[in-house]
Structure 1
Amino acid sequence: MSLFLRLAIGFILLIMLCWGSASLSAWHQTRETVNELFDTQQMLFAKRLLALEPATLQNVTLPKNKALLNHHRGKQDDDALAFAIFSGDGKLLLNDGEKGRDLQFADGRDGFRNGHLRGDDDSWRLLWLTSPDQRYRVVVGQEWDYRDDMTSDLAQSSIVPWLIALPFMLALLLALVWFELRPLKRLTASLHQRAADDDTPLPLARLPKEVQPLVLALNGLFSRMADLVQRERRFTSDAAHELRSPLAALRVQSEVIQLADDDEIVRKRALQQLDTGILRATRLVDQLLTLSRVEADDLRSEFQPTALAPLLQSVLAEHFPQAEQKHIDLQLHTTFQPVMNGHQLLLALMLRNLLDNALRYTPDGGQVTVNLTARTLTIDDNGPGVSDEALTRLGERFWRPPGQTQTGSGLGLSIVKNIAQLHAIRVAFSQREAGGLRVTLSW
């Protein structure tokens, strides 16, 4: 169901409920006012009758009002008011010539009560008053139906105009709602016509303030989706580009194995090359997936306090066999025990990549020194280092300094820089005075 239809139904129900409640309240208030007015009228009229001296009268009937009024072109309701005066013992002394003749004498207390006329089932409101000397009693009556009719007429006179105006008011209200919903309709049409890869922000002009947060949220979603699509495209392109060479090498080694029928040496060498190529392709895929995850996910919600010294010791212990194989002196110097709020697995991956780079590019018999202080971590090696021009490009995706003999994909330092950026760690590469490369992490 559309928003306009829901609002229309809601407005109709709300207006009808409010109009019904107001009509009922108006009818009750009008009834109370009419009863108070007519009770006051009956009381004043009864007091005027008490001021008469009807003791000398004996069943006097006044002329009928209708004849007088018709002669003077007037109108009167028989039920509007009726009166009679009785003696103390119940004899009728005076009546109005209309309904008053049917008023029945009642003894008892003075005041208002409900009763009936002789031969009439309609309910009347009767007021009885007794003269101070107890010689006669006055009764003034009025039919309840007359009061109810008067109440209905007065209530309708104030309610019916509003009832007539309700359709026009509702039509204007719905027209106003339809007019105010036009920005949402334009926004919907714009979204329908939007291309899947269009990340252009939606304009905020001519939009109500209540809709602007929605459009801002949509613009943010478009931006995030565009980044996600861009990362996915870059990942697909990088994977296709970088896996082409290892897969081609694997295919060549597979063909060599097939062609080496009886040459065991060639077959063995091809199998070794095949195993090396598989390891290289596996490592490349792992690095691509890791880089994609670090770039795509905001893992700050998984951060926790991490002690860097034990983590660094654990990573160094993993690389001791690699260092011993090349007779590299791997040293760790810690003067503080800093604790960082971060993702432990990603921090370990960052340190592992830095140590792996340092050990792979350090020649046999070289030295790799790791220094940990309260706010910095440095990794020094005495390898060949890189040129000043190459220092500025370290960490670019799939870029490796020229002249390198070690195998690699150029993703290790890219992963390091992305993890460091996630943890607000600054990464700096510099030349050592004694030769080699220094990597400095500061936070």
Structure 2
Amino acid sequence: MSLFLRLAIGFVLLITLCGGVASYSAWHQTRDTVNELFDTQQMLFAKRLLSLDPTSLHAASLPKTKSILRHHRGDQDDDALAFAIFRADGQPLLNDGENGRDMQFDDKRDGFREGRLRGDDDSWRLLWLTSADKQYRVVVGQEWEYRDDMTRDLALASLMPWLYAMPFMLLMLLALVWFELRPLKRLTASLQLRAPDDATPLDEARLPIEVQPLVAALNGLFHRMAQLVQRERRFTSDAAHELRSPLAALRVQSEVIQLADDDEAMRKRALQQLDSGIQRATRLVDQLLTLSRVEADDLRSEFQPVPLAPLLQKLLIEHFPQAEAQQMDLQLHAQAEPVMNGHPLLLNLLMRNLLDNALRYAPPGSQIQFTLNARTIIIEDNGSGVSDEQLARLGERFWRPPGQTQTGSGLGISIVKNIAQLHGIRIAFSHVQPQGLRVTLSW
């Protein structure tokens, strides 16, 4: 069901409910007002009748007036008011000549009560009063139907303008809703015509304030989707570009093995080269997949407190045999024991890549030193270092300093930078005097 239809049904129900409540309230208040008015009128009329001289009263009826009014173009409701005067023993003295003749004597208490006229089933409201000397009783009555008709007519007179205006008000209200929903319809049409890879933000200028947060969220979604598509395209392009050379080398070594029929040395060397190429391709694929995963934004939900001192200690212990084989010295100076909120595996990968680079590119006999402070980690080596131009390019994807003999893909520092960015870590590369490279991680 459309929003407009739901609003239309809601408005109809709401206006109907409010109209019903207002009508009942108006009728109830009008009824109370009419009853109060006519009760007061009955009381004043009864008192006026009691003020007459009882000695001058004798059984009589006033003349009928309806015919007189009719002949003089007047009108009278014989249920509006009727009266009769009785002696204390029930003897009638005077009545209005109409309904008063049918009023039956009642010697009970004074006040208002319900009653009926002689030979009439309609309900009347009767007021009985007794004179001060207890010699006469006066009754003034009014038919309830007259009051109910008066209440209905007055209530309808006050509600009729609203009853006529409600349909027009409802139509105007629905037209206003239809007009105000046009921006949503334009937005829907714009989204339907939008290309899947279109990351252009939607215009928020002409939209209502209530819709702008939705459009802002959509723009954020488009931006994230564009980044995701860009990462996937870059991953595919990088994989296709970087795997071309290793796969070509593997194919060459496979052809060499096929051609080396009886040359065992050539076959063995080709197998070694093939194994080395497979390892290099495997490492490249692993690094590409790791880089693609690190660039995703959903890893923040896996963050947890990570003690950095034990992480570095375990890392250096794992690499100690490799460092000893290369005659390198690994040192850890823990001046504090900070705990970082992050991803344990990615933080371990960050430190591992930095240590692997130091072990791979520093010459034998070098010293690699980790210094852990409350807000920083410093990794230093006293190797040959890099030039200023090469220092500025560290971290570029698939870039490696020229003249390197070690195998690699140029993705290690890129992975480090992406993990650091994910954790809000600032990374800086600098020279060590007299020679070497320093990596400073701060947060």
Partner deviation per Cα, 1:302-327 (whole Å, 9 max, x = no partner) = 4444333322121122222322333x
Trace 1:39-118 onto structure 2 (pairs within 5 A): 39-118=39-118
Specify the alignment match of 2:146 in structure 1.
146
Q: TM-score when scaled to structure 1?
A: 0.94
Deviation at 1:226, TM superposition (A): 1.2
Q: In 1, distance between residues paired with 2:79 and 2:209? A: 63
Deviation at 1:121, TM superposition (A): 0.6
State yes or no: 1:337 paired with 2:336.
yes
The answer as to whether partners of 2:309 and 2:372 remain within 8 angstroms in 1 is no
The answer as to whether partners of 1:54 and 1:93 remain within 8 angstroms in 2 is no
Among all aligned residue pairs of Structure 1 and Structure 2, give the percentage whose two residues are the same amino acid: 76
Q: In 2, distance between residues paired with 1:209 and 1:90? A: 81
Partner deviation per Cα, 1:261-314 (whole Å, 9 max, x = no partner) = 444433333332222222211111111111111111254444444333322121
For 2:371, the aligned partner's letter is L
**Secondary structure of 1:372's partner?**
strand
State yes or no: 1:247 paired with 2:243.
no
Aligned residues: 441
The answer as to whether partners of 1:359 and 1:368 remain within 8 angstroms in 2 is no
Q: Which moved more, 1:300-309 or 1:365-374?
A: 300-309
The answer as to whether partners of 2:353 and 2:413 remain within 8 angstroms in 1 is yes
The answer as to whether partners of 2:369 and 2:381 remain within 8 angstroms in 1 is no
Q: In 2, distance between residues paired with 1:107 and 1:251? A: 129
Deviation at 1:169, TM superposition (A): 0.6
Q: In 2, distance between residues paired with 1:196 and 1:112? A: 83
Q: In 2, distance between residues paired with 1:148 and 1:142? A: 11
For 1:84, the aligned partner's letter is A
**Secondary structure of 1:351's partner?**
helix
Q: Identify unmatched segments of 5+ residues in structure 1.
A: none
The answer as to whether partners of 1:329 and 1:368 remain within 8 angstroms in 2 is yes
The answer as to whether partners of 2:385 and 2:435 remain within 8 angstroms in 1 is yes
The answer as to whether partners of 2:309 and 2:334 remain within 8 angstroms in 1 is no
Specify the alignment match of 2:191 in structure 1.
191
Deviation at 1:53, TM superposition (A): 2.6
State yes or no: 1:438 paired with 2:438.
yes
For 2:183, the aligned partner's letter is P
The answer as to whether partners of 2:313 and 2:332 remain within 8 angstroms in 1 is no
Q: In 2, distance between residues paired with 1:425 and 1:110? A: 96
Partner deviation per Cα, 1:52-73 (whole Å, 9 max, x = no partner) = 2344544311110112212322
Q: Which moved more, 1:428-437 or 1:65-74?
A: 428-437
Partner deviation per Cα, 1:107-130 (whole Å, 9 max, x = no partner) = 110111111111111111111111
The answer as to whether partners of 1:308 and 1:337 remain within 8 angstroms in 2 is no
Specify the alignment match of 2:5 in structure 1.
5
Q: In 2, distance between residues paired with 1:440 and 1:141? A: 105
Across the aligned residues of Structure 1 and Structure 2, the Cα RMSD in angstroms comes to: 1.9
Trace 1:244-393 onto structure 2 (pairs within 5 A): 244-297=244-297, 299-326=299-326, 328-341=327-340, 342-363=342-363, 365-374=364-373, 375-393=375-393
Q: TM-score when scaled to structure 2?
A: 0.94
Deviation at 1:442, TM superposition (A): 3.7
* TM-aligned CA distance change 1:299 to 1:139, over 3 Å: same
Partner deviation per Cα, 1:26-46 (whole Å, 9 max, x = no partner) = 001111111111111111111
**Secondary structure of 1:310's partner?**
helix
